[in-house]
Amino acid sequence: MLAALLNGKPTTATQPTNLFGDGLFETIAIRQGQPCLWTYHLQRLQQGCRRLGYPAPEPDQLLAEAQQLAHPHTQAVLKIVLSIPPVPRGYQRPAEALPNRYLSCLPWPQQPLYQAVDIPIHLQTCQTRLGCQPLLAGIKHLNRLEQILARRELQPPADEGVMCDQQGSVIEGIMSNLLLLDAAGYVTPPVEACGIAGVVRQLMLDMAAQQGIPVRVATQSLAELRQAQAVYVMNSLLGVRPVASLDGLAYASVRLPHFLRQVHQACFELASPV
Amino acid sequence: MLAALLNGKPTTATQPTNLFGDGLFETIAIRQGQPCLWTYHLQRLQQGCRRLGYPAPEPDQLLAEAQQLAHPHTQAVLKIVLSIPPVPRGYQRPAEALPNRYLSCLPWPQQPLYQAVDIPIHLQTCQTRLGCQPLLAGIKHLNRLEQILARRELQPPADEGVMCDQQGSVIEGIMSNLLLLDAAGYVTPPVEACGIAGVVRQLMLDMAAQQGIPVRVATQSLAELRQAQAVYVMNSLLGVRPVASLDGLAYASVRLPHFLRQVHQACFELASPV
């Protein structure tokens, strides 16, 4: 950890969290001293606060704190955690409980995947499936056992895992959203019943709408995923990346089309202030 | 907190937890200096370790630690938490990560419900539904946002909430399991797709089998719950309690039959060593 703020005050402590994952988080790329895709991250955090019944963070204050941490760094990671303080026992949130606001700045990941943008991703199908829970779908909450169990399944050379819902429909990656290109065009699975509404996924949908590029939102079978012309993964630290293989089976096209190169660039150019 | 042990050593710190609820817990009644229903709690904890990929705790060591904390107390609560140490970022559990073993002793709850055994329970139907996730069902893991959201719904005089699955079938209480008595006998909902396999529920099933008392395991509709002759809630701190009302509608019978009085007594008599 490079630096951290707890409710606005510098701290060297790790984040104070409650036992039951009663919280939200955002993982944000820092480029040239600014948090990237700030508006998208803020909107998802606000949506999460509504769902979990937290007061929304004050946007100007949150941005000021994010910029304070981001300012010294050309390239780093900003993590925001809103979480209810620890409770001794039981599921009852104390009436007066307000989430702690913990922002920390971490070094940019060392793995090659995060160092070079032209490294394609190897996918592996995970046995761990996502539970259907519309109350928690979309938001980036802190109940992440499904992702932790799925992550344990990955074997080299897989960089990322494909997660399905209980019916076996493809929903997302463990740490990313998925975009497929098939004969009918682009398609990305819905995240209303399970999965996370990724900021890059939303940016991609917004840019596609602006440019008149149709993107369907629909679950895909594993067979459809395998038979896609191309597959891409998206998240705030990777941007948009082409997928080289799924379970060892190579995809024909492993390059970003012009539109997705634009989205990728926008991931790291759309720094705040916005 | 009265006392705590972290990996066997006395500590005054709160439990060190990871951000994503990667852990397990048990809440155990202490009576006359001994943890109650020890074998049941240990078995569920071991089952949880298998599901989450943790090494199982050494049973003799865990019991010795539990007894060390329980010994001074006539009546108290023992909480066991196994949880992966904090990770800076991402869903990958470090290869060498072993769960911390945190045992703490807390005062017995002050609420009247926990002071007098003859106070019946008032139930309220919760809008918050349980997601279907067989990989995590049954075990007492630390991803508990569903329970926290459901708990926020409770309005006086409700002591406990009824939680349904995504199809609207009754599964359990927020902090307890449910047992219904209808014209055909006892019935308790299954906990294979969602819900927690409570230790008192298992004790009740075992005692029923020993005594030749049939107990069906089947989901119930809210209508069936309303129309039951009697409803009971079960957990390790309450034992077995009759339900007085559901959403303000009173049940005809609000007393424990002989069999359930036996189960209730066994909850606080079956202290270790076992």
Please state, in angstroms and as integers, the Cα–Cα distance from residue B42 to each residue in B37, B46, B57, B83, B216, following that order.
Answer: 9, 6, 9, 16, 25
- Which of A26, A65, A140, A160 is catalytic? The answer is A140
Task: Say whether pLDDT at A64 is over 50.
Answer: yes
Which class for B97: exposed (0-12), middle (13-18), buried (19 or more C-beta within 10 A)?
Answer: middle
Q: Taking CA atoms, what residue in B is nearest to A167? A: B132
- Res B198: pLDDT: 98
**For residues B253-263, average pLDDT:** 95
- Sequence spans of domains, chain B: 3-108, 117-269
- Preferred mutation among A26, A77, A133, A194 to probe B, highest tally of B CBs within 10 A: A133
Supply angle C-alpha B188, B189, B193, rounded to 5. Answer: 150
- Give the pLDDT mean for A189-213: 98
Residue B140 is among the residues annotated as catalytic for this protein: yes
Interface residue of B148, B164, B175, B235 to substitute, partner A, most A CBs within 10 Å = B148
What is the pLDDT, as a whole number, of residue B87?
84
Q: Dump strand ranges (E) for B132-214.
A: 160-164, 170-173, 177-182, 185-188
Instruction: Please list every residue in chain A whose beta carbon sits closer than 8 Å to the beta carbon of residue B145.
Output: 20-22, 52, 136, 141-143
B28-59 pLDDT, tens digit per residue, is 999 999 999 999 999 999 999 999 999 999 99
pLDDT tens digits, one per residue of A112-122: 999 987 789 99
pTM of the model: 0.96
Give me the architecture of the A119-269 domain, per CATH: Alpha-Beta Barrel (3.20)
The model's pLDDT over B164-220, given as tens digits with 9 standing for 90+, comes to 999 999 999 999 999 999 999 999 999 999 999 999 999 999 999 999 999 999 999
Q: Indicate yes or no: CB of B91 within 8 angstroms of CB of A15.
A: no
A269 among known catalytic residues: no
| CA distance to partner chain B, nearest, from residue A76 (Å) | 13
- Tell me, yes or no, if the two domains A3-108 and A119-269 fold the same way: no
- What's the CATH number for A3-108? 3.30.470.10
Query: Among the options A27, A39, A125, A219, which is catalytic?
Result: A27
pLDDT for res B117: 79
Rounded (10°) angle between helices B59-70 and B38-52:
130
Mean pLDDT value of segment B264-272: 83
- Note the pLDDT of residue B270: 64
At residue A153, the pLDDT reads: 98
Nearest CB to B131 within list A20, A88, A131 = A131
Q: Cβ of B20 and A92 within 8 Å? A: no
> Is the Cβ–Cβ distance between A193 and A216 less than 8 Å?
no
Q: Which of B92, B157, B155, B104 is nearest to B126 (CA)?
A: B155
Cβ of B150 and A25 within 8 Å? no
Interface A:B, Cβ pairs < 8 A:
143
Q: What percentage of chain B carries pLDDT values higher than 70? A: 98
Report CB contact under 8 Å: A77, B91: no
Contacts of A175 in chain B (CB under 8 A): 90-91
| Chain B nearest CA to A272, separation (Å) | 23
Alpha carbon distance A27, A13 (integer Å): 19
Look up the CATH architecture of domain B117-269. Alpha-Beta Barrel (3.20)
Q: In chain B, which residues have their Cβ closer than 8 Å to the Cβ of A151?
A: 90-93
> Is pLDDT at A273 greater than 60 in this prediction?
no
Q: Is the pLDDT at A140 greater than 70, yes or no? A: yes
Regarding an ipTM greater than 0.90, the answer is yes
Query: What CA–CA distance (Å, rounded) separates B113 from B123?
Result: 13
Asked whether the predicted pLDDT for residue A210 surpasses 70, the reply is yes
Angstroms from B264 CA to nearest CA on chain A = 21
Q: What is the mean pLDDT of residues B146-171?
A: 98
CA neighbours closer than 13 Å in the CB half-sphere of residue B244:
11
CB pair distance less than 8 Å for A135 and B152: no
The predicted pLDDT at position B274 comes to: 45
Mean pLDDT of chain B: 95
Give the mean model confidence (pLDDT) for residues B88-107: 92
Known catalytic residue: A140? yes
Flag the least confident range among A109-113, A126-130, A169-173: A109-113
Higher pLDDT, residue B217 or A94:
B217
Stated as kind and residue range, the H or E segment containing A240 is: strand A239-246
pLDDT of residue A192: 97
> In the numeric block, which tokens belong to residue A252?
């024909």
The two tokens of residue B54 are 């943790």
pLDDT at A113: 92
Q: What is the pLDDT of residue A274?
A: 45
Average pLDDT, integer, range B61-75: 97
pLDDT at res. B61: 98
pLDDT at A84 over 60: yes
